[in-house]
A and B are shown apart, each in its own frame.
Chain A
Amino acid sequence: MSQDTATRVLEVEGLRRAFGGLVAVNDLGFAVGQGEIMGLLGPNGSGKTTALNLISGVLRSDAGTIRLMGQNIAGLASYRIARLGLARTFQLVRVLDGMDCRENIKAGLAFQKPHVPAAEAEVRIDALLDRVGLAGHDRRPAADLTYIDRKRLELARALAAKPRLLLLDEWLAGLNPSELTVGIELIRSLKADGITIVLVEHVMSAVRALCDRCIVMSSGRKIAEGATADVLSDAAVVKAYLGGVAADA
């Protein structure tokens, strides 16, 4: 993959965030190129979700720079980052329960700049419902959806803004094997559309199938980076940080 500055969608340098005495993210740096899928791996508590929260503006970093399409977004409010083309899903799925599916997706595109004309928005919502497999459910309240459908809806909302960068926080967790196959295909199709993706994931078969490159975190630090196959076969990484999970995948 090209490391040309022009094709870098996300560049993180020297990122640090501490909670009291605990340094959750420590001197983290990596870059993600246009159209690439980057896996963010590591044991629980290693700082993966904190890193996503820093990038998406939920948390402020203590130090470091985060560049989205070359623009430094460290310290910007979440809504500004969202308008610059970053969308995300959450570790614990978050949909708007009091609204129907159509409104949930509409929320994802209604507040983007420049504004999406109403007619185009409707077309886009229909296409997204279809794409994530929720066609025909547009007037169904989100609260009535099953777990997998809630995940689908959350992804559709994130995609509604036509993001340049998509952060997926364990989006494939909790799916059964056939749902997993569908989910992997769905994410792969996003890559084909040119969306750059950073995903935090524990499902190793999905990481192997999807990620071009991976970084592995432990105690807030990056301990490995490289092509997925290389990182996952790194004996030290497997033994110390993936607890042998990679071996069965």
Chain B
Amino acid sequence: MSAKTAGLGVGALAALVLLAFVPRLGNAYYLALAISLLQYTVLATAWGMFSGPTRYVSLATTAFFGVGAYTVAVLGEILPWPLVLLIAAALGAIVAAIVGLSTLRLSGVYFVIFTFGLTELIRQLVVWFEVNKSRVLGRYVFVDITQADIYWQLLGLTAAVFLLGWLIARSRLGFALRVIGEDETVATHCGINTTFAKVALFTISATVMTLVGAIMAPRWTYIEPSIAFNSMISFQVLIMALLGGAHRLWGPVLGAVPLTLLFELLSARFPNTFTIILGCIFLLIVYMLPRGVAGLFEKLSTTPGGKTTERVAA
């Protein structure tokens, strides 16, 4: 391990310890904001873990988030909390593996549309099941989880997702995904089982998203399909990851933090025109920062010759 890596590790650990004290500030508004920041940081980072290297744009974030949230709504009061999280993660992984196996052969815009449709499909399935089988639409979530608990769980998940991303980037799987992102045909001729690699990472990424949904669920006391499967989350996460730069592990967080703060501000000030403003921001990001904030940093840190873009596995 190089000195730089060790330094980064110590810095990250120090940041983690400091952040753990946020609930001790005793300010409910800041805690709520910090929870939002962590939620989108984890979601955007998990999104970037798969979509960054492979360049498959997924709009299924909401689907997995919703599966997690709904698992808590159904099982939260019956089973111990760690078991609920475990079941949510397993469900998310199973759904992701099925979806991955059936869709990752699609490419480009077909994959985008399918993942968007998937969210709606799962939502309608839940509605159908609730109306016809369990005969309730909307459930109350009464679990003994405080806001501070939510925050600490999300912080732990954030640390885990960065560690996981760091490990994957250094693994053969991470390298395989970068080759796939560059040229899938070449990847297969290099001996890469492209389907396995894509499904594996899609599943890992989706499991993290599902856990976020599960951890966040107690924040609402009442959950119904339209809340748990709100497709805005998919779009917001996509915009954040693209703004930050999905080709780097640390890219999405650079988009998640400023945009969460901005969304917070906009949705409070302009509740009705919020989505229009969001759309305009998205257009601006794509035109002005095609490689995100991370790409901008890289551009600025290279010499004027521009030939020193040494790529570390991201």
Known: A96-B186, A98-B178, A99-B182. A112 touches B191 (CB 8 A): yes
Q: Does the CB pair A82–B190 fall under 8 Å?
A: yes
Q: Does the CB pair B172–A82 fall under 8 Å?
A: no
In the assembled complex, how far is the CB of residue A78 from the closest CB belonging to chain B, in whole angstroms? Answer: 4
In the assembled complex, how far is the CB of residue B51 from the closest CB belonging to chain A, in whole angstroms? Answer: 15
Interface SS of chain A: loop
Central interface residue in A79, A87, A88, A141, by most chain B CB within 10 Å:
A79
The residue that B176 contacts in the complex, of A56, A77, A111, with Cβ under 8 A, is A111
Q: Does the CB pair A108–B190 fall under 8 Å?
A: yes
The residue that B191 contacts in the complex, of A88, A113, A141, with Cβ under 8 A, is A113
Q: How many chain A residues touch the partner (CB < 8 A)? A: 33
Q: A88 to B185, alpha carbons, bound, how many Å?
A: 11
Known: A110-B175, A144-B307. A82 touches B188 (CB 8 A): yes
11 residue pairs from A and B, CB less than 8 Å apart: A79-B188, A82-B188, A82-B190, A94-B186, A96-B183, A98-B181, A98-B182, A103-B175, A107-B186, A110-B172, A110-B190
Task: Name B190's closest neighbour in chain A (CB-CB).
Answer: A107
Across-interface contacts of B307 in A (CB, < 8 A): 140-141, 144
Task: Name B306's closest neighbour in chain A (CB-CB).
Answer: A144
The residue that A100 contacts in the complex, of B189, B192, B311, with Cβ under 8 A, is B311
Q: Mark B176-215, 1 if CB is under 8 A from A, else 0.
A: 1011011101111111111000000000000000000000
Q: Mark A33-58, 1 if CB is under 8 A from B, else 0.
A: 00000000000000000000000111
Q: Give me the 4 closest cross-chain CB pairs, A-B, nearest first.
A: A78-B188, A111-B191, A96-B182, A82-B191
Q: How many chain B residues touch the partner (CB < 8 A)? A: 22
Task: Name A83's closest neighbour in chain B (CB-CB).
Answer: B191
The residue that B190 contacts in the complex, of A90, A139, A157, with Cβ under 8 A, is A157
Q: Does the CB pair A79–B194 fall under 8 Å?
A: yes
In the assembled complex, how far is the CB of residue A58 from the closest CB belonging to chain B, in whole angstroms? Answer: 7
In the assembled complex, how far is the CB of residue A206 from the closest CB belonging to chain B, in whole angstroms? Answer: 23
Interface SS of chain B: helix
B residues contacting A by CB (< 8 A) are 172, 175-176, 178-179, 181-183, 185-194, 307, 309-311
Task: Name A100's closest neighbour in chain B (CB-CB).
Answer: B311
A residues contacting B by CB (< 8 A) are 56-58, 77-79, 82-83, 87-88, 90, 94-100, 103, 106-108, 110-113, 139-141, 144, 157-158, 161
Q: Does the CB pair A106–B175 fall under 8 Å?
A: yes
In the assembled complex, how far is the CB of residue A163 from the closest CB belonging to chain B, in whole angstroms? Answer: 10
Across-interface contacts of B189 in A (CB, < 8 A): 56, 78-79, 82, 87-88, 158
In the assembled complex, how far is the CB of residue A81 from the closest CB belonging to chain B, in whole angstroms? Answer: 8
Q: Does the CB pair A99–B191 fall under 8 Å?
A: no
The residue that B193 contacts in the complex, of A79, A88, A95, A161, with Cβ under 8 A, is A79
In the assembled complex, how far is the CB of residue A109 from the closest CB belonging to chain B, in whole angstroms? Answer: 8
Known: A82-B188, A83-B191. A96 touches B310 (CB 8 A): no
